[in-house]
């Protein structure tokens, strides 16, 4: 045996030994059935493993549904007043406490205010000036009738009396506006500007208050039997909520309770930071179970329509046209253009191009489009190659 033959035999022996030691012989690779493409139609064989990656959904007419919008409960600002002090002073008496029902003009607290004493003093002085001017006018009229003084002096007396009367009205109005009248006692009275309930008080005995002490009110008076719900409406739902629409309010503290409310306001602009639209609903709260600053959710009804609702993944946009793949038979899918618009909750509203009950690919539509793209690219290469080999 020559050396070359010995090498071949040795190599065969090694190969046999390795194959004998392997517990599992290499399996043959399964063949993938061919996919047939006819224009914009894709046909898969019944045993194609690619069918398992596709999910098909039936296009059904849009039915009434609800979308949930987050918000919080606030005081009804049309029935709320935040009361401060128009004078500098120190608290001597606190007359009302949170929970007290008050009427307009009721005293809430009393301050010792030298500044208010000046207002009272001006009002008393204007009263004195008016009486003096009226007496001077009366004398001028008597003297004018007797021919002692000319008409010009009578007119001057009348003008002085009119100026004194105007000053008296001004100082009296200012004194009434600031809640005081009568003797000069420097007691400035903070009064309720509206009927309601004292829902908040930020005042302690001996506290010094000023008109410019900040945005914190001394008292908050409101009507807790009617509240507002401030809603943050996502941009996607801007067309689903309108003034006058009924909504259902729920709060975490009362999970089994539903409170009917009605939308009273929808903003005409979008917050550029949060991409939210501010809206407001009003809710009756006769039993006062709802509390201001509670978190709340509003369920807004979307009425039924003639449009069809499909998942957002069922459609894809090319240029300015939406497309989807409709299942015409088992394993047979045809691309179709549709008229559609975005809808809430990850869905699309189909307005044309699809009939009720038709089945559309809801998962895997982009994969099907990729097959069409690959077929188009391959056809383009074949055409170019054929032209290159033409004599």
Cβ-contact 329, 293 below 8 angstroms = no
pLDDT at 344: 72
Instruction: Classify residue 16 by burial, with Cβ atoms within 10 Å: 0-12, 13-18, 19+.
Output: exposed
Average pLDDT over residues 42-46: 91
What top-level class would CATH report for the domain 36-63+306-384? Answer: mainly beta
Q: How confident is the model at residue 70 (pLDDT cuts 50, 70, 90)?
A: very high
Average pLDDT over residues 180-190: 78
Q: 2.40.50.100, 1.10.3720.10, 2.60.40.10, 3.40.50.720: which CATH number matches 84-113+186-219?
A: 2.40.50.100
Average pLDDT over residues 40-53: 89
Q: What is the mean pLDDT of the chain?
A: 84
pLDDT single digits (tens) 248-266: 999 999 988 999 999 999 9
pLDDT at 192: 92
| pTM for the structure as a whole | 0.61
List alpha helices for the chain, DSSP H: 3-21, 114-145, 151-177, 365-389
Q: How confident is the model at residue 385 (pLDDT cuts 50, 70, 90)?
A: low
pLDDT at 382: 56
Enumerate the β-bridge partners of residue 55: 363
Tokens found for residue 121: 């003093």
End-to-end distance of the chain based on CA atoms, in angstroms?
59
pLDDT at 304: 72
Percent of the chain surpassing pLDDT 70: 87
Round to whole Å and give the CA distance between 13 and 365. 54
Q: 2.60.40.10, 3.40.50.300, 2.40.30.170, 1.10.443.10: which CATH number matches 67-78+223-302?
A: 2.40.30.170
Lowest mean pLDDT among 26-40, 62-76, 199-213: 26-40
CA atoms lying within 13 Å on the CB side of residue 183? 1
Q: How confident is the model at residue 29 (pLDDT cuts 50, 70, 90)?
A: very low
**Domain residue spans of the chain:** 36-63+306-384, 67-78+223-302, 84-113+186-219, 120-172
Lowest mean pLDDT among 214-218, 333-337, 366-370: 214-218
pLDDT at 147: 86
Question: How many residues are listed for the chain in this entry?
Answer: 391
pLDDT single digits (tens) 131-184: 999 999 999 999 889 888 898 998 999 999 999 999 888 888 777 777 666 677
């Amino acid at each position: 045996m020559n050396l070359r033959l010995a090498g071949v035999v040795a190599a065969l022996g090694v190969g046999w030994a390795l194959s004998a030691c392997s517990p599992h012989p290499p399996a043959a690779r399964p063949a993938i059935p061919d996919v047939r493409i006819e224009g914009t139609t894709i046909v898969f064989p019944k045993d194609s493993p690619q069918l398992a990656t596709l999910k098909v959904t039936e296009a059904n007419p849009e039915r009434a549904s609800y979308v949930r919008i987050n918000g919080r409960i606030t005081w009804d600002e049309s029935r709320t007043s935040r009361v401060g002090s128009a004078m500098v002073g120190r608290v001597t008496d606190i007359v009302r406490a949170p929970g007290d029902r008050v009427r307009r003009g009721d005293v809430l607290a009393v301050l010792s205010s030298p500044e208010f004493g000046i207002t009272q003093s001006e009002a008393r002085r204007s009263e004195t000036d008016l009486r003096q001017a009226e007496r001077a006018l009366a004398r001028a009229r008597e003297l004018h009738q007797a021919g002692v003084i000319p008409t010009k002096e009578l007119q001057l007396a009348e003008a002085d009396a009119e100026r004194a009367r105007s000053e008296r009205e001004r100082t009296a109005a200012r004194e009434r506006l600031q809640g005081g009248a009568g003797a000069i006692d420097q007691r400035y009275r903070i009064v309720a500007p509206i009927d309601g309930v004292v829902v908040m008080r930020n005042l302690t005995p001996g506290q010094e208050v000023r008109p410019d002490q900040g945005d914190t009110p001394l008292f908050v008076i409101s009507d807790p039997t009617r509240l507002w719900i401030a809603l943050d409406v996502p941009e996607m739902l801007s067309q689903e909520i309108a003034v006058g629409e009924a909504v259902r309010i729920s709060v975490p503290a009362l999970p089994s309770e539903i409170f009917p409310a009605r939308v009273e306001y929808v903003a005409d602009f979008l917050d550029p930071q949060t991409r939210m639209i501010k809206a407001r609903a009003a809710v009756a709260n006769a039993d006062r179970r709802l509390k201001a600053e509670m978190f709340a959710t509003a369920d807004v009804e979307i009425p039924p329509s003639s449009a069809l609702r499909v998942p957002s993944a069922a459609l894809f946009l090319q240029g300015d046209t939406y497309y989807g793949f409709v299942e015409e038979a088992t394993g047979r899918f045809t691309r179709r253009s549709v008229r559609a618009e975005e809808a809430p909750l990850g869905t699309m509203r189909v307005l044309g191009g699809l009939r009720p009950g038709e089945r559309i690919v809801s998962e895997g539509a982009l994969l099907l489009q990729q097959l069409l793209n690959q077929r188009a690219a391959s056809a383009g290469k074949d055409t170019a190659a054929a032209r290159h080999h033409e004599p």
